[in-house]
Amino acid sequence: MKMRNPPVNSLSLEFLTELLISLEKLENDKTFRGIIITSDCPGIFSAGLDLLEMYGRDPAHCAEYWKAVQELWLRVYLSNLVVIGAINGISPAGGCLLSLSCDYRVLANNPKYAIGLNETLLGIIAPFWFKDVLVNTIGHRAAERALQLGFLFPPSDALQVGIVDQVVPEDQVQSTARSVMAQWLAIPDHARQLTKNLVRKPTADRLLQQRDADIQNFVRFISRDSIQKSLHVYLEKLKQKKG
């Protein structure tokens, strides 16, 4: 699955909906056993959640958006398919969450392709389920530092801390992902799927048990004047970087 939402594969409501529909189709087609998620935007895996879906929007829109974000995470994280991330670009925040939700991550060895949950740098807070997935992946202490400092790990550090499983030359990302896929597909589906569920369900359940409350928390938080101001400043910084 090649993500294409130029210029930066930001996860807008429309794009999330497209991803969800595509994933559902693949899940329901029993001829598919695995997917490789990669990007069609050069140098960018995904810029994460679309800031314009959270800035200057009314509460109803924010609630609808957050529901879709939750939905995409649950679908990828609990997918019965083998999900491999072929990460061929920078992958901050929501892009990192998407990567972390794969079963295996291959990152292209380019110092620009940093990955991490950088929410604090925007003046916002990674929700508990983003945090849970990071803790599950790199451990409590490393996650504590990474989250507070909003670390974006370049490839060598990303491998060392374990946020990705493999770093390979850029031109080998897709072929490596395919070899990894072959290895995972050699395992009987039912045994692998039940095991995946055993490992991941408690984390997903934490959100499933409080989805509405999580939406309300998000809407309350994002609607605060101080948070809207932080988003404004961050968006301006992105604009100025250009000019």
Ligand X SMILES: CCCC/C=C/CC(=O)SCCNC(=O)CCNC(=O)[C@H](O)C(C)(C)COP(=O)(O)OP(=O)(O)OC[C@H]1O[C@@H](n2cnc3c(N)ncnc32)[C@H](O)[C@@H]1OP(=O)(O)O
Q: Which residues are at the interface with ligand X (CB under 6 A)? A: 7-8, 10, 44, 47-52, 90, 92-94, 118-119, 122, 124-125, 127, 218, 221-222, 238-239, 241-242
Find the shortest distance in angstroms from Cβ 160 to ligand X.
22
In the bound state with ligand X, the residue whose beta carbon lies nearer, of 115 and 222, is 222
The pair of three-digit structure tokens given for residue 36, joined into one six-digit string = 């490789």
Catalytic residue among 34, 94, 95, 116: 94
49 catalytically annotated? yes
94 is catalytic: yes
Tally Cβ neighbours within 10 Å of residue 156: 12
Contact partners, residue 204, CB within 8 Å, separation at least 6: 74, 77, 78
The two three-digit tokens of residue 168, written as one number: 């390979």
Q: In this structure, what token pair is assigned to residue 232?
A: 């404004």
Nearer to ligand X, 94 or 155 (CB): 94
Catalytic entry in 5, 11, 118, 231: 118
Smallest gap from Cβ 9 to ligand X, in A, equals 8
Residue 154 carries which DSSP code?
-
Cβ density class 70-109: b for 16+ within 10 Å, e for less: bbbbbbbbbbbbbbbbbbbbbbbbbbbbbbbbbbbbbbbb
With contact defined as beta carbons under 8 Å apart, do 70 and 215 qualify?
yes
Taking the complex as a whole, the smallest distance from the CB of residue 192 to ligand X amounts, in Å, to 29
Q: Which is nearer to ligand X, 127 or 155 (CB)?
A: 127
Nearest to ligand X of 75, 131 (CB atom): 131
Token code pair at residue 83? 């999900």
The residue nearest ligand X at its CB is 48
Closest to 116 measured CA to CA, from 141, 98, 136: 98
Structure tokens at 54: 């959270």
**What is the DSSP code (8-state) at residue 134?**
H
* Closest CB 125 distance from ligand X, rounded Å: 5
Rounded-to-10 torsion of CA 233, 128, 113, 53 = -40
Give least dist CB 59 to ligand X, A: 14
Question: Could you say which of 51, 119, 150, 207 is catalytic?
Answer: 119
- Out of 13, 49, 147, 152, which one is annotated catalytic? 49
Nearer to ligand X, 49 or 158 (CB): 49
Active site residue 236: no
Active site residues: 49, 94, 118-119
